[in-house]
Every structure is written in structure tokens, then in C-alpha cells.
Homo-oligomer: A and B are copies of this chain.
Amino acid sequence: MSELSELSELAVAAEKLDAADELAGLRERFVLDDVVYLDGNSLGALPAHVPARVEDVVRRQWGELRIRSWEESGWWTAPERIGDRIAPLVGAAAGQIVVGDSTSVNVFKAVVAAVRMAGDGRDEILVDATTFPTDGYIAESAARLTGCELRPVTPAEVPSALGERTAAVLLNHVDYRTGRLHDLPALTAAVHAAGAYAVWDLCHSAGALPVGLDEHGVDLAVGCTYKYLNGGPGSPAYLYVRRDLQDRFDSPLPGWNSHAEPFGMRSAYAPAPGAVRGRVGTPDILSMLALEAALDVWDGVPVEAVRAKSLALTDFFLRCVGEYVPEGRVESLTPVAHAERGSQVALRCEDAGDVMKRLIERGVVGDFRAPDVLRFGFTPLYVGFADVERAARVLGGILA
């Protein structure tokens, strides 16, 4: 009886929270079913209006207008136009973001460009030792190609590791595994105090919480668009270069799209001014315009409200896990302090791979990260408190 009444206590709490949720109506902007989808930090759900927009791009823009669409359908300017749509979500004024390529490729551009900005006297790149692997691999390649040394350190160690040799520091705003939110303002200030350049990876923060790129003076940033921005599988990433650094942005991938006069067909390279300088080759229009359409779901949605709901969701999930999951079966890797928490909860759990399979079978979709982590992402645009309660209850049942 006590368990039953506890169940209903949390279920009642969820109901109240959902009723008071000013963002609850946004769920209707997405295609969802009765699965609890807590994997939007890996692949965002499909916004309901996107299929029709993609169909128009394929049938009319490509099929009927064909080559004319580069001008008439705005294909050519899509990378910077969509960059300007992302800008307010990460606290950037217009004209500083271009969309295109993968996150990995943009990390490469940003880190090499940062090293070049730092100049000859500096030959060390610091990288988050717990980073999503691709950032570390690409930073290592950037170091090798620019004659730098790569030094992996935890974000906490960055202030003491910074020095006269430091050229660039590559950090994650939110750790992909633990969900820990790093202190972007303080770390950026420390990097600047040492005369180095800060490159932030926003993959796990953009669309889930305020980033404040301009406000905090971030130098360069990259991020993907298929997680909290719901751009679709493998949708193109973006690159932010702070306005006053753009003239010094010296790209290691100076493709023709970044030329000052791309259709001049000149043999000598001359970089375009502005964010366009971050472009490389011909943009992948289908993926890019699906992303552009997907960004419509943000119309009228303040990032601050998203952040408030995100914290309420993760708070409630931790509470429900505490109630439903038997003592000692999971350990949260995600910080309790709001200032240190992104929009996911990571639970260390024995047999995590198997547990996640069983969760998915029972309609709760998170993901497994080797070796022992259950990862649950909370997308405030479409996840509600009843979802959260159900996910924790199902997890508790599996682990009982």
C-alpha cells in the first residue's frame, strides 16, 4: 500500500507540474507517440511541419527550379541565414555564425584558426580530457599540423594549466557523458587572462540552456544541430567566430564558398569578410533546409523558460529515481547543483547496456554510453513531467 500511495503521489505531482508548464503546448509542434523519448540529446524528434517543407525543397526547388534555386530559393545564402536563426539561441548577435559541415570539421577549423590567432610564441593546445572523443582526436590533428603540443586536462584544471605557451583551449559546455555544465564565463575569462583563445563545443547545451556567447566574450564556438535543435539526423553543424576576430580567422579549409568572390573563379584565394569566411564547400541543401524549417519550433520560445523547465525536469527525475529505484542500484553522475547541470541525467548502473535495452522495450528511450552509463536527455520542448515519472517508474521496475 505504501508503494502504491507513493506511486500516486509522484504521479499527482507530475500532473500538477504539467498543468503549470507554460511550454507544455510546444509538444504539439513535434511528431511523438506514446514512447517516453529521453534521447533528444542524441537525435531530436521530428518537428511536425518539417516533412512538408522538405518535400517542397525536393519536388519544387530541386525538381522544378533546379539550378535556379541557388538564387531563387535562397540556397546559396542558407549557411549564414540559418546561422542567424541559431544565433539568438546561443546569445550571439547576427553575422557571426555559419552552418555547414560536421561538428568535427568545425572543431578543426576553430582550433587551427585559434592557434593562428594566438601567434608564433604559443605552441600548446589544452583540451578537455573528458571530452567527447572526436574533439580530442581533431584537436590532436590540429596540434600535429600546426606544430603544437596537445595537453589533455580536466576543465577544473584549466586555470592552473594555462600559461604563456597556451594558444587555444577546447572545452565542452556540457559534458556528453555526465551532463555536467562547465562554467563558460569563468573559464573563458581565465583563458583570456592567459592571452589564449577559447573554443567552446556547444553540442550538449545549445537549445537547452542560455549560452551567452557574446556576453561572455567567447572567441570561437561550434555545435551540432541534431540534438536540442531538432535539425534531423546528421544535420549540419555550425561555427561561431566573434565579430572582432573574423578578420583574423585564417581557415585551414579555405574552400571556394569562403572566397570574397566565389563566382569570380580566381586562382588566388581571398577570404570573404564576416562569418561567411567559415564556409568551405557547397552546402548540403536538403539537410540544411530541413534544419532551417526545424528552427521554426523556437518561434516565441525564450531560452530562459526552456532552461527553467529543463532544471525542473531533471530535478523531478532525480526525485523520482530516488523514490522508485532500489537503493544502491544506480549512482547519478550528474551534479546536483543547478549551476553545474546540463539537460540530461547520467546514471551509473551495473549492466547498463542490458538495462537500457529493457527500458527501450518498455517504451522508455534513453541511451547507453560505454562502459556503464544510462543517459537520459530532457528536451523541454516536448518532454513533460508525466514522461519523467513514467521513465523513473519503469527503470525502478527493471532494477527491482
B233 contacts A75, C-beta separation under 8 Å: yes
B254 contacts A365, C-beta separation under 8 Å: no
Q: Count A interface residues, CB 8 Å.
A: 79
A58 contacts B46, C-beta separation under 8 Å: yes
A286 contacts B105, C-beta separation under 8 Å: no
A87 to chain B, nearest CB (A): 21
Q: Is A284 an interface residue (CB 8 A)?
A: yes
Q: Which residues of B contact A133 (CB under 8 A)?
A: 256, 259, 265-267, 269
Option from B46, B54, B177, B285 in Cβ contact (under 8 Å) with A54: B54
A107 to chain B, nearest CB (A): 9
- Residues 166-187 (chain A) with a chain B CB within 8 angstroms: 177
A369 to chain B, nearest CB (A): 6
Q: Is A141 an interface residue (CB 8 A)?
A: yes
Known: A66-B365, A134-B281, A367-B67. A58 touches B290 (CB 8 A): yes
Q: Which residues of B contact A266 (CB under 8 A)?
A: 133
Known: A43-B66, A51-B59, A265-B370. A285 touches B104 (CB 8 A): no
A129 contacts B267, C-beta separation under 8 Å: yes
A102 contacts B152, C-beta separation under 8 Å: no
Option from B69, B70, B286, B369 in Cβ contact (under 8 Å) with A286: B286
Interface residue ranges, A against B (CB under 8 Å): 31, 33, 37, 39, 42-43, 45-46, 50-51, 54-55, 58-59, 61-64, 66-67, 69-70, 75, 101-105, 108, 112, 129, 132-134, 136-138, 140-141, 145-146, 152, 177, 224, 226, 232-237, 251-257, 259, 263-267, 269, 280-288, 290, 365, 367, 369-370
